[in-house]
């Protein structure tokens, strides 16, 4: 545990001295928090028009609406639901830069060999690197969601809509699915980082992670899926399996020797 | 302390022929010994150090370090050795103090602050302890890397090119620090290209180029290749004086060089008085007498050359 803590402390000490990383960690959550607030504010200004629009929206789009919601509230829920995936994406986007640099970056600066010469185990090293990348993103994600919840009454969002956002689907998405996605993303990025020789290549390949999540977002916008509680629980179940697989793969594929001696 | 038996490392290449970096290396380094590992670039020195520090595994053969077997007790080996790698990278954005603290924790040092402070002071980095390692000169970084290798007080220290790229003053500082370490009874395994450094610091030397070509003390290596030679500087030289000297038991060769006589012999301490007596009796004016010492560089280059010649197919 001491070794894991040391690696986390080391990564944070290095990463947080980098202004670009700090900027990403502050800027992205602010954007992701402001966007749904702006949308809710403007849709809240014209609830009657929103209610009228609801009548033209296909029924499957509004599957998340309940009987107690007015037409306008139902539309607001439909609109804000698109941002749930963005919130879940946040812990994937933020740590990828840190994680993709973690192994290949150390290799490039020649600090990997002395690090691997210490009595640290592969599991400790990877756990430290993964947690160092994932934790800040998860915390930032939770914090911005908290901020979003606190801001909702200030822009006169109804208690029914707030109740939906603070309900099980969103909470599971933010508190459970997001972190699970972060763990998968970070492990994938570290896996890539330990297989390439150039930090830029690691970052570019790791960025591909965003593609399936965007796919999910577009599928929801197109009405192909509606993220309700059942979908969320299924997604979480799938992510648990993906995480277990990624962690197992990461530790078993991480070969100190190849990383140190691989030729280009 | 360090023992290898037919240690071999072959790197398998996908698109090229396999590379045998280390072949059948058998050697032993005793406790407290400073052992120099000399060889040309690409000879497999770093690969050997990596195997002995359990960073990479051997293809065949075996090795024991501090009683632990490579490939079996790797964690124990890493815990009990210190290593200065060929390119000792630091966490550039972090201070010298922070860099060492991280490693002290990874090596499970009990008194982290104490050890970090001790080595920062010993290596003259205390006043710069809060400066980022990235702002250090190459010499300072090398000292910081040496401090990092010593934090957990390892009994065995592997130093890969410890003075490479340093200016003479920094190199001297590092060398005198290694001499201090030797005084503490640590076993030191040095890979170096600096032959004067090896000559000065090492008890024994292994000349290596994928396989061990020679291993002995610097003095014995000289003797093996060149024998011992004494130069008698004379006011004038008469070739008649050569014969009686040649006739002395133990004298291998006598050759006149300008106004000097160069005598190869087994035991100068025994033979020099006899030769001086003969020369004086013959009427020679001896200006001074000195032993001709071949540099380790001569020994090294000659050994490598002979080894290459042997490998050239007839």
Give tens-digit pLDDT for B115-158.
Answer: 999 999 988 889 999 999 889 988 888 889 999 999 999 999 99
The predicted pLDDT at position A33 comes to: 87
pLDDT number for residue B314: 42
Q: What is the dihedral of CA A227, A24, A142, A180, to 10 degrees?
A: 60
Q: Tens digit of pLDDT for each residue in A8-22?
A: 999 888 887 777 777
A135 token code pair: 């934790």
pLDDT at A264: 45
pLDDT averaged over chain A?
82
| A201-210, A236-245, B98-107, B203-212 — most confident range | B98-107
pLDDT at A60: 65
Nearest CA in chain A to B94: A14
**C-alpha to C-alpha distance for B237 and B260, rounded to whole angstroms:** 7
The answer on pLDDT for A241 being more than 60 is yes
Interface check A228 vs B, CB under 8 A: no
Q: Is the pLDDT of residue A199 over 80?
A: no
pLDDT at A107: 82
pLDDT in tens, chain B (314 residues): 899 999 999 988 777 788 888 989 999 999 989 999 988 888 889 999 999 999 999 999 999 999 999 989 999 999 999 999 888 889 988 999 999 999 999 999 999 999 999 999 988 889 999 999 889 988 888 889 999 999 999 999 999 988 887 788 888 888 888 888 888 888 999 998 788 888 888 999 998 888 888 888 888 877 777 778 899 999 988 888 888 898 888 888 888 988 899 998 888 888 999 999 999 988 889 999 988 877 777 777 877 777 777 665 44
Which chain A residues are closer than 8 Å to B88 by Cβ?
Answer: 110, 114
Question: What pTM value is reported for the model?
Answer: 0.79
Q: Which residues contact A44 (CB under 8 A, 6 or more apart)?
A: A76, A155, A156, A157
Instruction: Quote ipTM for the complex.
Output: 0.79
Give the neighbor-by-neighbor strand order of the sheet with B60-65: B19-29, B2-11, B60-65, B68-69
Predicted pLDDT at A126: 87
What 8-state DSSP symbol labels residue A23? H
Q: Which two tokens stand for residue A198?
A: 């150039």
Residue percentage of chain A with pLDDT more than 90: 9
Q: Which residues are B37's β-sheet partners? A: B191, B206
Distance to chain A for B90, nearest Cα, Å: 6
Touching check for A18 and chain B: CB below 8 Å?
A: yes
For residue A145 the two structure tokens come to 């969601």
For Cα atoms A32, A38, A40, give the angle at the middle one, nearest 5 degrees.
105
A14 touching B (Cβ < 8 Å): yes
CA distance B84 to chain A (A): 8
When CB atoms are compared, the residue of A2, A10, A116 closest to B55 is A116
Instruction: Write the pLDDT tens digit of every residue in B35-55.
Output: 999 888 888 899 999 999 999
């Amino acid at each position: 545990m001491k070794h894991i803590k040391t690696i986390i402390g080391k990564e944070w000490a290095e990463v947080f001295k980098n202004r670009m990383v700090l900027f990403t960690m502050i800027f992205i959550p602010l954007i992701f928090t402001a966007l749904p607030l702006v949308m809710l504010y403007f849709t809240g200004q014209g609830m009657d028009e929103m209610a009228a629009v609801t009548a033209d929206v296909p029924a499957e789009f509004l599957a998340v609406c309940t009987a107690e919601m007015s037409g306008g509230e139902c539309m607001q829920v439909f609109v804000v639901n698109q941002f749930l995936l963005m919130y879940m994406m946040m812990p994937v986007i933020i740590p990828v830069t840190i994680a993709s640099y973690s192994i290949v970056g150390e290799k490039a600066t020649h600090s990997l060999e002395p690090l691997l010469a210490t009595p640290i185990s592969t599991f400790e090293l990877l756990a430290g690197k993964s947690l160092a990348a994932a934790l800040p993103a998860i915390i930032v994600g939770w914090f911005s969601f908290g901020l979003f919840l606190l801001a909702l009454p200030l822009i006169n969002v109804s208690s029914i809509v707030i109740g939906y956002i603070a309900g099980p689907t969103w909470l599971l998405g933010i508190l459970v699915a997001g972190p699970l996605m972060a763990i998968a993303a970070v492990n994938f990025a570290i896996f890539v980082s330990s297989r390439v020789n150039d930090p830029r290549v690691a970052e570019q390949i790791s960025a591909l992670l965003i593609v399936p999540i965007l796919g999910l977002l577009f599928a929801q916008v197109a009405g192909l899926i509606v993220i309700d509680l059942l979908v969320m629980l299924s997604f979480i179940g799938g992510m648990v399996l993906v995480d277990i697989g990624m962690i197992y793969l990461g530790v078993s594929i991480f070969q100190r020797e190849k990383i140190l001696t691989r030729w280009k | 302390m360090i023992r290898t038996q037919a240690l071999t490392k072959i790197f398998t290449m996908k698109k090229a022929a396999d590379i045998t970096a280390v072949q059948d290396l058998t050697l032993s380094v005793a406790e407290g010994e400073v052992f120099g590992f000399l060889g040309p670039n690409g000879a497999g020195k770093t690969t050997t150090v990596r195997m002995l520090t359990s960073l990479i595994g051997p293809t065949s053969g075996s090795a024991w370090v501090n009683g632990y077997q490579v490939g079996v007790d790797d964690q124990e080996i890493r815990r009990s050795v210190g290593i200065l790698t060929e390119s000792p990278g630091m966490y550039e954005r972090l201070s010298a103090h922070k860099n060492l603290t991280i490693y002290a924790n990874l090596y499970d040092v009990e008194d982290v602050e104490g050890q970090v402070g001790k080595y920062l002071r010993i290596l003259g980095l205390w006043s710069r302890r809060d400066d980022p390692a990235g702002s250090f000169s190459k010499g300072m970084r090398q000292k910081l890397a040496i401090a990092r290798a010593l934090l957990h007080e390892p009994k065995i220290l592997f130093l890969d090119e410890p003075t490479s790229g340093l200016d003479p003053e920094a190199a001297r500082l590092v060398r005198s620090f290694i001499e201090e370490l030797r005084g503490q009874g640590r076993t030191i395994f040095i890979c170096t290209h600096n032959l004067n450094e090896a000559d000065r610091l090492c008890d024994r030397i292994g000349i290596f180029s994928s396989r061990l070509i020679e291993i002995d003390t610097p003095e014995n290596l000289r003797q093996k290749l060149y024998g011992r030679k004494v130069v008698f500087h004379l006011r004038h030289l008469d070739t008649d004086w050569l014969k009686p000297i040649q006739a002395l038991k133990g004298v291998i060769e006598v050759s006149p060089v300008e106004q000097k006589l160069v005598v190869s012999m087994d035991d100068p301490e025994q033979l020099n008085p006899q030769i001086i007596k003969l020369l004086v009796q013959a009427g020679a004016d001896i200006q001074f007498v000195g032993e001709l010492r071949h540099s380790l560089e001569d020994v090294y280059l000659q050994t490598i050359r002979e080894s290459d010649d042997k490998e050239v197919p007839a």
